Each structure stands twice: as C-alpha cells, then as structure tokens.
Amino acid sequence: MSTMDFARPVAALIPDAQGRVLATLAATTRELNLRTLAELSGVSVAHAARIVPRLVELGVVERRDVPPAVLVRLVREHLASRALLALADLRHAFLEELRESLRRLEPAPLSVTLFGSFARGDDDADSDVDVVVVRPSTVEEDDPAWSEAMAGWEGYVRRISGNAVNRIEVSADELPKLVKSRRPLWQAIRQEGVALSGTPLVAGMVDTRA
C-alpha cells in the first residue's frame, strides 16, 4: 500500500513546482515577492514567475505590483484555497482521526501515546506511526477481544493514512517501571511523546486533546 507524506501533503498530492509553490503560499498569510516565494519553495525565480500568473488567473492567488517588486499571497477565502489549506493541515486532521478512532475501541486501552517521527513532525512517506499502548491490568495480553480490537485499529490507521503502525504494548502493571527507564527508547518517549488517549504517561507530556 502506498504511504502519505504528512509533513508535505500539498507537494505530495500536487506534483512538481506548482505543489511546492502552493504549499509555501498556504503556510503564510504574508505577501511574498517572487524571489522569496521561489527560495522558500525550492524552485527557480523563473519557474515561480511562470506558475504565479496561472494561479492569479484561477483566483486562488492575488498579485500586487509594488515596483520593482511583485507581491503575491493566497486568497484564503477562495473555495479552492480552503481545500488547499485543509490539505496543508492534514497532520492535524490525522491526529484528530486517531483520537476519535481510539474512543471507539472496546476494550479500551488505558492510554495511547504517539512518539517517533510523527510526534516530532519530521516524518516522511516511509515513516511508521509509532505508539505506546497501555493495556489495562484486567485484560490479558492474549485476550481475543483485545487482540481483535488492536488489529482492527491498526488496520484502520493503515487504511486512512497508508502508514503502518508500530505498536509497543505494555501492561498497566509494567508501566511505572518503564516510564522511569533510562533506555534510549523510553527517554525518547518521555521527551517527545504526544498523548492521544487516556492519561499522559508522564507529567508535562503534550496532550493533543487540549
């Protein structure tokens, strides 16, 4: 199954220079001159100068001449721009979908924490969705209902994102010792973890439900 680049969703779905230019415009409300637009987009000034007039013609970009400069910005009220902005915010939508899908699980985990590249925001199309899942002490590791729920959730995440889930599962009884571990993995989880459901593993951890 193909994977999605949540760090660069606009450029991933709109190919080549035009996608990079649109991604740059979607990321700011400021007016940009062509040279700055080109530098931020990673394209040549000549290429940006060929792309912008078409976007202006479509109505999604507005141009203002301030000789000798040309200033442009996204018309954020345009319906097409709204779709573009939603695409640019795909990471947030993905996290919201993860939280909502976890609310539907039965039996429910005590907590689920995102870590790794998705938590840091430096993921790419090949990144796994790394999570720590805390299993209630009343649920056995081989409980059929639990196994089915976890497998179903992982499959759902793969379908909506294209990215595989890398699940680290621990029991509630194991957790107190693990969250104090000096192993690099658990140090990273403490430092970069993002709480998706339940109580954050450690105080100060980012809670994305806020």
Contact 134, 175 (CB under 8 A): yes
The closest of 125, 92, 55 to 208, measured between CA atoms, is 92
The closest of 87, 74, 76 to 11, measured between CA atoms, is 87
Architecture per CATH, 9-87 = Orthogonal Bundle (1.10)
Pick the CATH number of 91-207 from 3.30.70.1060, 3.90.79.10, 3.30.460.10, 3.30.300.130: 3.30.460.10
The DSSP 8-state label assigned to residue 137 in this structure reads T
Predicted TM-score of the model (pTM): 0.79
CA 59 to CA 76: how far, in whole Å?
Answer: 10
The domain segmentation of the chain, as residue ranges, is 9-87, 91-207
CA 208 to CA 73: how far, in whole Å?
Answer: 30
Q: pLDDT tens track of the chain, all 210 residues?
A: 456 788 889 988 898 999 999 999 999 999 999 999 999 999 999 999 999 999 999 999 999 999 999 999 999 999 999 999 999 999 999 999 999 999 999 999 999 999 999 999 888 878 899 999 999 999 999 999 999 999 999 999 999 999 999 999 999 999 989 988 999 999 999 989 999 999 888 754 544 443
